[in-house]
Amino acid sequence: MTRQEVEIRMEAISSILRHENYRIEREEMVAGRDAPTTRVVVNLTIRGQRVDTIPFLVVEASGGRWLVQKVDLQAVMAAR
């Protein structure tokens, strides 16, 4: 994938996830992964509408940072 394709994908994901508010419902460790991974379940408010239980998989990176590895974009789009 080219840099331009990555940037286009990232912009599309950013557009889908744009929100006014969020609330973390729960966090749970994901077993059997190479890197420490946590499932974070989030409620979002998008365009004034509440979108419940969106799971994000986040992976611990160097320096104590966390990177989103996977998010259920279909669940976000279906609730719109």
DSSP 33-56: -SS-EEEEEEEEEETTEEEEEEEE
Mean pLDDT, the chain, integer: 94
55-66 pLDDT, tens digit per residue, is 999 999 999 899
Indicate the pTM of the whole model.
Answer: 0.83
23-37 pLDDT, tens digit per residue, is 999 999 999 988 889
**Fold type of domain 3-78:** Nuclear Transport Factor 2; Chain: A, (3.10.450)
The amino acid sitting at 35 is A
